[in-house]
């Protein structure tokens, strides 16, 4: 089995991106290949690169990771919407407003990950986790939508979706008091547990 795990570069003035730190530490069980891909925080480039990787590697599952500073749980995203709406510029300086990810595409795509099962795995390990109704409208949502659209258009029915991560402790330095975070070893444990669960299900 092969699982594709993706993360993003830093953005928005942050020196680090928690998703990239977790990507570097995450592992898969014996017999499961873990392909890792670091994506730019740029709307179209990110989608193009993940879809090229999917076509080249033909993975059996795809887990995309992203940063959601301000959240206190690992967030399993339930859907992606066909909208690009940028509150801040992406790393290419693009600030789309009211633009579709895919013109004439469906309004939304539901996650193809086994969310309820992954939530149970995380909660059983004592890791703060939730099902999230919104992946936002920035690059994370756009990536999720573009990936799921590509999988649909190419006839692939595989587990695939997006997981948002809160800051790890180091990232909260200099931020407002009380900014939520989860310790890095716990985040790595959580994502690794998700990888192992998907690999076990085959």
What global pTM score does this model have? Answer: 0.96
- Average predicted confidence (pLDDT) for the chain: 96
The whole domain housing 31 covers 2-201
Residue 173: count of CB within 10 angstroms of its CB? 8
Q: Provide the number of structural domains found in the chain.
A: 1
CATH number at residue 58: 3.40.630.20
Tokens representing 106 are 């469906």
* CA-CA-CA-CA dihedral for 187, 168, 126, 143, to nearest 10: -50
pLDDT in tens, 118-160: 999 999 999 999 999 999 999 999 999 999 999 999 999 999 9
Catalytic sites, residue numbers: 77, 140, 164
């Amino acid at each position: 089995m092969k699982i594709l795990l993706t993360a993003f570069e830093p953005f928005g003035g942050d020196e680090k991106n928690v998703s990239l730190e977790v990507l570097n530490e995450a592992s898969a069980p014996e017999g499961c290949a873990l392909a890792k891909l670091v994506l730019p925080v740029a709307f179209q480039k990110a989608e193009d690169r993940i879809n090229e990787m999917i076509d080249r590697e033909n993975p059996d599952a795809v887990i995309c990771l992203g940063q959601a500073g301000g959240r206190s749980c690992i967030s399993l995203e339930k859907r992606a919407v066909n909208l690009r709406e940028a509150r801040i510029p992406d790393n290419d300086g693009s600030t789309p407003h009211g633009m579709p990810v895919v013109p004439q595409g469906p309004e939304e795509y539901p996650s193809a990950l086994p969310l309820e099962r992954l939530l149970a795995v995380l909660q059983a390990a004592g890791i703060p986790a939730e099902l999230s109704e919104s992946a936002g409208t920035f690059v994370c949502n756009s990536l999720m939508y573009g990936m799921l659209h590509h999988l649909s258009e190419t006839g692939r029915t595989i587990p695939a979706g997006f997981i948002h991560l809160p800051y790890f402790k180091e990232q909260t330095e200099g931020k407002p008091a009380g900014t939520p975070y989860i310790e890095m070893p716990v985040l790595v444990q959580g994502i690794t547990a998700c990888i192992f669960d998907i690999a076990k299900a085959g």
